[in-house]
Amino acid sequence: MTNHTNRAVILKQRPQGEIQEGDLTLEERPVRELKEGEVLAKVLWLSLDPYMRPRMNDAKGYMDPIGLDEVVVGESVARIVESRSDDLKVDDLVTCYSGWQEYVVFPANAEMVYKIEPKDNVPLQAYLGVAGMPGRTGYCGLMYVGKPTSGETVVVSAASGPVGTVVGQTARKEGCRTVGVAGGPEKCRYVVEELGFDACVDYKAGNLEADLKAACPDGIDIYFENVGGAVTRAVAPLLNPGARVPICGFVSAYNAEDMGSVETPFHVLKALDPVPEHRFFLVTEWQDKHQEITNILADRVASGELKYRETIAEGLENAPEAFKGMLKGKNFGKQLVHIAD
């Protein structure tokens, strides 16, 4: 074993609805010696993302469930601290799927490990947010599934989060009228005044259908789906002929005790006449464009063109509470955990 002691958040039992005490535990685990071709990375920043919650269930989805007694999945920015490979050297910075832990061992040539070439004015944690997987998700879903053209109206739910932030600012750059949906006046103000959306509807204000209709006088050409539920139902009657709906996720249902009984965006959209073009997508469909799109987004961050917000929890031990809060919309912008410098 090495001289490093690892702490990891482990899935001990599958949550029934919201995550409860005892579902996740923080454990100390030894760090084994490296084999030839492997590296040891110290996690600096951990990303918390909604997709992690369905993977805690014992149900086959688009990704395999997390096994009991396994580390909760997640992407991080990490620094190489030991290496037995020529591909990655000590002090190299990478994004990798370390999971919720402080150290991780992996082959230097493993898939989904990308070396970070630091840029001025781009903080490392941005490679987990608007210049990372959420940002690429928003960019690819909008550009390659939504296919916006100038003058169209684009609506995006969870507009102040890292995916919605990129969708809205990219849509504006493409010449679209951009309308966000967010929870609370502070988030809505930020989406319009800081991010430059044309309008933002507060789904908590109690007038969702009327407010959305007023914000979209010419109907909706693209709806970028992040939340499902009442927002999808409000959007549906406003969709124009030829509308496109890229479905990224539907976080409003992720704590449901029985996912099989949930009304999904697919149920709502398929009930329309005509049925709009819609599909679920994964950012990995464009994995070959990973570095290209990361560079586009990082350059926009560096220039100040792509704006964003973050909520940061300090220390791995605070990851579970931060995650539970994120699923309820308590975070503002990208939810991160700062683990080490």
Q: For residue 268, list its beta bridge partners.
A: none
pTM listed for this prediction: 0.91
Tokens encoding 147: 């296919």
| Per-residue pLDDT at 254 | 64
**Secondary structure of 272-288 as H, E, C letters:** CCCCCEEEECCHHHHHH
* Cis amide linkage into residue 274, ω under 30° from 0: yes
The residues of the chain scoring below 70 in pLDDT are 1-2, 62, 252-261
- Cα 101 from chain centroid? 19
Backbone angles phi, psi at 183, to 5 degrees: -105, 105
What three-state secondary structure class fits 199? strand
Residue 265, pLDDT score: 86
**pLDDT per residue as tens digits for the range 42-58:** 999 999 998 899 999 98
Q: CB neighbours (10 Å) of residue 278? A: 20
Residue type, 291: Q
- Distance, in Å, from the CA atom of 4 to the CA atom of 201, rounded to the nearest integer, reads 49
Q: What are phi and psi of 208, to 5 degrees?
A: -55, -50
Question: Strand locations in the chain, DSSP E?
Answer: 5-11, 24-30, 38-47, 76-83, 93-96, 103-107, 114-115, 153-157, 177-182, 199-202, 220-224, 239-247, 277-280, 310-314, 334-338
Does the domain made of 5-121+309-338 have the CATH classification 3.90.180.10? yes
148-197 pLDDT, tens digit per residue, is 999 999 999 999 999 999 999 999 999 999 999 999 999 999 999 999 99
Written out in words, the top-level CATH class of the domain with range 133-284 is alpha beta
Query: What residue ranges do the domains of the chain occupy?
Result: 5-121+309-338, 133-284
- For 284: left if phi > 0, alpha if psi spans -120 to 50, otherwise beta; the answer is alpha
The pLDDT value recorded for residue 258 is 63
